[in-house]
Structure 1
């Protein structure tokens, strides 16, 4: 029986030390500025969206890894269905007998979306085992904790993972909890990665941290998007304004702006690019309408982050909008 090692997708870079431990980076680190961007660097070492895929007609999955105490679990899917969910905190060594599978069955290993994990060994042994290079549309999904999705039950149930699995897309998750602040390192990463569709969910971290006044925020968003458009001249780009957060909608932050103000400013930048620069390939999604007020009350226990059911609702609402943008490309 063949044994095939994991070929990782969804990471900007995989670093291996002399002992064979693999660690993962989701950002180009050239424009990180320690100590100012240490929080972003920490989030970029988390493995949201990082996965390996094989096909096989039978299988034994072997995994040796080590995760921090705050790690989300590891998911193993067979033909898109969750087959195993493994606790990832601490040192782990697992052998999973998948048994006889349908011919050409797809086996996926999803690393934790939150917490830091390193992998010593990951392989699938069995009949007709092959490592699969994903071939769907390449989707770069940039955003905050609401894209990072710590609250999802597992890495295959984040809203970007749900959308990517349904549409057959190749996901590159650039969700950074608390760190979606339009950093040059994030822009550089998006500029360097190949893409067929790009989504940017902007505004909530800037509101929470009062990082920008509305005047500086609009300029930062304009520059961030413009640089990405220059690097990807033919790629549809979807800008998602902040998802509803009821206590923040009309409450001014330390620079005197409400969440509704940041939503309006984000939409204003998109309208400016569409109108003044002729950038018709930009698509705007009103994040405030993705969940209703009743759904926000029911599925945001902390008033900010959706729960697992809330992320499923987000996937159901955002998936068709993203698919339409990717299919249509630039608007007429």
Structure 2
């Protein structure tokens, strides 16, 4: 077997790679951004490699990847599915699997504590690949922190040149991150990118789409031909700000992106339908009665009457985003708006309800990916005209 060093030339979708005691850890926010926020939730999700993949050209029929995952266990909640690795050959599904072992992070949602238990490196082994010159992609689990340790193949490996297609840079919440999709290539952004023929960099951050200036600077400084930002739901979840602060924060976020991408097609997407927060402000809290039954479910803890004093609901946020984009687009013809309910709305909720009250299931991810590709990437769509 040939051992090939894992280098940046073999990886796509990460903004930065950190050398650890075990190997390489992909990050989806740069060190400067990470240094400006001590939130452990953000630290956890930005190091979960949603959209990150190894891409290599080889004749190998056997590929082995050693990695050290960090798996999460929630006290009192049914076990989470194992993080899945998807393997593509020349863009088509060719299997995948899971890596056993790894570190364990046990989280008690009732009091917010967490315990880290170290574990061993594991191996993903892919066999029976065609004995032809081909491009192999290994998509890492979207929801497991993954340190890449070693790559072995039964034939030499070489990097694949930078893609000729347009890079699509997307930022959003846990729904964009992937929760609760079936696998890394079936999150809605990954599906949309595949259907649209674009190269995804996914900055969907579970609980972290909070209009943070350091995230805007990361978007500003990342080369891309197409950009989208899906904003709103996390601001309500966290009860982070009032209407007076939200509008200027959105303007500032967009201003920062435009400093690095003045003419790039930029699509602002409002939240998908989430009935519990359509007219009721946050915060979003766990339903303790459901937790007592071993189920994870969320509920809105705000008072609808508080919208009069500036508290945010999804309805308020959609109206404000539409207003801001409408006003700015008079001087920014490459700025566009998409109502998130076009991706998942009332009829979809009736057919595919949100299992925990917040996140779409695997079938809804597929529907959202297909719809986004049709609405955004087709000719005449806001991201259908190529790079700006």
Local SS of the residue matching 2:253: helix
| Match in the other structure for 1:320 | 374
Where 1:69 maps in the other structure, the secondary structure is: strand
1:256 corresponds, among 311, 318, 323, to: 311
Q: Distance in 1 between matches of 2:218 and 2:13?
A: 12
Q: Is the 8 A contact 1:196 1:326 kept in 2?
A: no
| Aligned residue in 1 for 2:273 | 244
**CA–CA distance in structure 1, aligned partners of residues 39 and 332 of structure 2:** 31
Structure 2 match to 1:16: 19
CA-based RMSD of the aligned residues comes to 2.2
For residue 301 of structure 1, the aligned residue among 337, 355, 362 is 355
The runs of 4+ residues in structure 1 deviating greater than 6 Å are none
How do 1:58-73 residues align onto structure 2 when only pairs under 5 Å count? 58-70=60-72, 72-73=83-84
Distance 1:317 1:125 in 2: 40
Tell whether the 8 Å contact from 1:58 to 1:98 is kept in structure 2 after alignment. no
Q: Is residue 100 of structure 2 the alignment partner of residue 85 of structure 1? A: no
Correspondence for 1:266 among 293, 311, 321: 321
- Say which of 173, 190, 194 aligns to 1:144: 173
From 55, 58, 61, the equivalent of 1:56 is 58
Is 1:154 the counterpart of 2:215 in the alignment?
A: no
Conserved 8 A contact 1:5-1:124: no
Residue pairs, 1:153-172, within 5 angstroms: 153-172=182-201
On the 8 A contact 1:141/1:173 being kept in 2, the answer is: yes
Is the Cα contact below 8 Å between 2:49 and 2:142 reproduced in 1? yes
Q: Is this contact kept in 2: 1:161–1:171, CA < 8 A? A: yes
Q: Distance in 2 between matches of 1:180 and 1:268?
A: 20
Instruction: Indicate which of 220, 224, 233 corresponds to 1:191.
Output: 220
C-alpha separation between the residues in 2 aligned to 1:88 and 1:204?
32
> Is residue 229 of structure 1 aligned with residue 250 of structure 2?
no
User: How many corresponding residue pairs?
Assistant: 326
1:98 paired to 2:98: no
Report the secondary structure of 2:44's partner residue: helix
Report the CA distance shift for 1:66/1:3 in structure 2 as closer, same or farther (over 3 A). closer
What's the counterpart of residue 283 of structure 1? Answer: 336
Q: Which moved more, 1:286-295 or 1:236-245?
A: 286-295
TM-score (norm. length: structure 2): 0.78
The two structures have a TM-score, normalised by structure 1, of 0.91
Could you tell me whether the CA contact under 8 Å between 2:225 and 2:387 is conserved in 1?
no
- State the SS of the aligned residue for 2:382: helix
Question: Matches of 1:123 and 1:184 in 2, distance apart?
Answer: 40
Provide the C-alpha distance between the structure 2 equivalents of 1:168 and 1:125, rounded to a whole number of angstroms: 30
Tell me by how many angstroms 1:284 deviates. 0.8
- 1:76 counterpart residue number: 87
Segments of structure 2 that go 5 or more residues without pairing to the other structure are 73-81, 103-120, 283-301, 303-309
Q: Summarize the Cα distance change of 1:76–1:217 in structure 2 as closer, same or farther, 3 Å threshold.
A: same
* Equivalent pair of 1:297/1:303 in contact (CA under 8 Å): no
Compare 41-50 and 87-96 and name the one that shifted more. Answer: 87-96
How far the C-alpha of 1:321 sits from its partner, in A, is 2.6
Partner of 1:132: 160
| Alpha-carbon distance in structure 2 between the residues aligned to 1:15 and 1:284 | 35
